């Protein structure tokens, strides 16, 4: 299992190791040539544009890199949906989820004790590493929502809590895609599919059935016990940052840790960890440690646990105008100051597209 180093040089090396040809052939297998770049993209230390530009610069034929670019574009697509729909992405977006038995968490998913060996192993790995392969995320979401009939919200929060790459848009909307509230059909997986892509050879489980049988099966015994989940973020305690009020302050946060952003400017640099943000979107200690480690790539950064208003209060009335600079992001609409654009793969493809294919149709022409 891959580790996630936090120094910028190792991250750049990881970009250079991308093999888009192998990727398109093997990405669905747990040992496939996936990039393990998502924790860095989610945290805004690198951008999808930067990754796209690198792959395009290598001179591959379009058909060789298309699958990879398409997957990268899924992230951008979900971000555009978030920008357009705001907090509505935190609820059933296109259709009400069907056949919901409860709004709780399934105990045996939490305990990595479903009896499906590959699933249990990868949940344990999620706890240990903060990463889960995309296919496993789909399996786990399908087991929670479509076999266990949980509403998607609480299980998605549980997964987000543990992921180093936690991204509210990719997370909520992927769960909704699996649960059928962002797609017209629920996604199911059976044991045969899991055996094939995770190299297991298990039989006689609650998923060892044909798809026709699975869709009509009631909640398996293994998934019946549920509980309420309380997720808490432990933020570091620190003092107010030492701000030179004659200089602007660049605000970094858990979704913007870009060390190259306004690099040459003479400015205060603050990693702002807002308790209100983490109350709404809780994350584990491991995720907080990762964010802090990544922030060390930014020279002179100070970490501040507090609200934007507290930071604003450090400036005098005369110095307030234009003193904050930040990157646009739907989670941080309440900041005041100069808003920089993020680096998009397709800056001109904006607004809401009801499906990825409609987004991609427009985007791919620009490649």
Q: Which residues bind ligand FAD (CB under 6 A)?
A: 27, 34-38, 41-42, 71-72, 74-75, 78, 134, 137-138, 141, 159-160, 163, 165-167, 170-171, 174-175, 178
Alpha-carbon dihedral angle through residues 200, 203, 209, 210, given to the nearest 10 degrees: 50
In the complex with ligand FAD, the residue whose CB is nearer, 11 or 34, is: 34
Pairwise CA distance, residues 7 & 293, whole Å: 8
Sign of CA dihedral 61, 14, 8, 269: positive
| 3-class secondary-structure state, position 108 | helix
Work out how close the CB of 287 gets to ligand FAD at its nearest, in angstroms, rounded to a whole number: 11
In the complex with ligand FAD, the residue whose CB is nearer, 49 or 262, is: 49
Work out how close the CB of 204 gets to ligand FAD at its nearest, in angstroms, rounded to a whole number: 26
Cα distances (angstroms) measured from residue 137 to each of 25, 48, 133, 194: 19, 21, 6, 12
Work out how close the CB of 52 gets to ligand FAD at its nearest, in angstroms, rounded to a whole number: 10
In the complex with ligand FAD, the residue whose CB is nearer, 14 or 269, is: 14
Work out how close the CB of 316 gets to ligand FAD at its nearest, in angstroms, rounded to a whole number: 40
In the complex with ligand FAD, the residue whose CB is nearer, 72 or 119, is: 72
DSSP code for 330: G
Work out how close the CB of 82 gets to ligand FAD at its nearest, in angstroms, rounded to a whole number: 12
Work out how close the CB of 279 gets to ligand FAD at its nearest, in angstroms, rounded to a whole number: 18
| 3-class secondary-structure state, position 64 | helix
In the complex with ligand FAD, the residue whose CB is nearer, 15 or 267, is: 15
Write out the two tokens for 44: 């805004």
In the complex with ligand FAD, the residue whose CB is nearer, 141 or 214, is: 141
Pairwise CA distance, residues 86 & 82, whole Å: 5
Interhelix angle 134-142/117-129, nearest 10 degrees: 120
Q: Are 246 and 186 in contact (CB under 8 A)?
A: no
Q: Are 115 and 165 in contact (CB under 8 A)?
A: no
């Amino acid at each position: 299992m891959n580790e996630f180093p936090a120094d910028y040089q190792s991250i750049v090396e990881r970009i250079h190791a991308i093999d888009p040809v192998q990727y398109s052939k093997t990405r669905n297998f747990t040992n496939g040539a996936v990039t393990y770049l998502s924790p860095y993209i989610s945290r805004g230390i690198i951008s999808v544009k930067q990754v796209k530009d690198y792959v395009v610069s290598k001179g591959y034929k379009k058909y060789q890199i298309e699958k990879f670019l398409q997957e990268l574009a899924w992230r951008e697509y979900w971000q555009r949906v978030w920008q357009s729909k705001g907090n509505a992405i935190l609820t059933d977006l296109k259709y009400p989820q069907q056949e919901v038995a409860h709004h709780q968490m399934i105990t045996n998913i939490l305990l990595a004790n479903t009896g499906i060996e590959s699933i249990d192993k990868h949940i344990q790995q999620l706890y240990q590493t903060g990463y889960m392969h995309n296919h496993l995320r789909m399996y786990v979401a399908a087991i929670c929502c479509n076999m266990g009939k949980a509403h998607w919200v609480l299980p998605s929060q549980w997964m987000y809590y543990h992921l180093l790459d936690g991204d509210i848009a990719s997370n909520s909307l992927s769960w909704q895609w699996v649960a059928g509230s962002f797609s017209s059909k629920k996604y199911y997986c059976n044991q045969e599919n899991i055996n094939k892509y995770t190299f297991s050879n298990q039989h006689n489980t609650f998923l060892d059935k044909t798809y026709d049988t699975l869709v009509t099966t009631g909640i398996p015994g293994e998934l019946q016990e549920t509980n309420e989940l309380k997720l808490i973020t432990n933020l570091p305690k620190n003092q107010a940052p030492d701000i030179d009020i004659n200089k602007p302050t660049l605000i970094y946060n858990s979704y913007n840790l870009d060390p190259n952003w306004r690099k040459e400017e003479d400015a205060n640099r603050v990693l702002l960890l807002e308790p209100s943000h983490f109350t709404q979107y809780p994350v584990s200690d491991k995720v907080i440690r990762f964010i802090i480690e990544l922030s060390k790539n930014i020279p002179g950064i100070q970490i501040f646990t507090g609200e934007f208003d507290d930071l604003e209060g450090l400036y005098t009335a005369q110095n307030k105008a234009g003193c904050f600079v930040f990157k646009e992001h739907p989670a941080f609409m309440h900041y005041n100051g100069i808003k920089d654009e993020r680096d998009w793969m397709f800056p001109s493809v904006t607004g809401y597209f009801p499906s990825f294919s409609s987004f991609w149709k427009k985007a791919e022409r620009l490649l």
